[in-house]
Amino acid sequence: MPALTRWYIKTSLLYLIVALVIGGLLAGRSALGLPSEIGALSPVFFHLFMVGWVSELIFGVVYWMFPKMSRENPRGNAQVAWGTYVALNVGLLLRAVGEPMASLTGSTGWGVALALSAFLQWIAGMAFVVSTWPRVKER
């Protein structure tokens, strides 16, 4: 299993744990007497679950299991693949912090952080498509 795949899968499992903890807090907010500000974590829960767990797991398995490009260059450009991982995770972490802060403070600085987060995640998605596309081929 390639190192990048291991990083994707382990990172996705960490995001799953964090998402489930946040989901539990959101579900038990009133029963546990938690402050209403916890509700600002709702978009973070969904983002960590879908992008952090599901997408990262898919990206890692695709990098590992899709057909090889060639014997000399089996998985394509490793720098693009690692750049995808970094952009996706920096964007996701920026989103996880920026989303509730923008909601709670209304500061435009957090809005800029969210825009940067979205841009990084978009770059990661496009880089994933570019690096994966040549590996999708007929036998």
pLDDT of residue 103: 84
pLDDT of residue 121: 97
Rounded Cα–Cα distance for residues 42 and 61 (Å): 27
pLDDT of residue 137: 78
The domain spans of the chain are: 3-135
Which residue in 60, 117, 108 sits closest to 88, CA to CA?
117
Crossing angle, helix 3-27 and helix 78-105, to 10 degrees?
Answer: 20
* Amino acid type, 139: R
Answer whether 116's CB lies under 8 Å from 94's CB. Answer: yes
pTM score of the predicted model: 0.88
Rounded Cα–Cα distance for residues 123 and 133 (Å): 15
- Mean pLDDT per 10-residue segment, the chain (139 residues): 95 98 91 84 94 96 88 88 97 94 84 94 96 84
pLDDT of residue 130: 94
pLDDT of residue 117: 96
* Amino acid type, 74: P
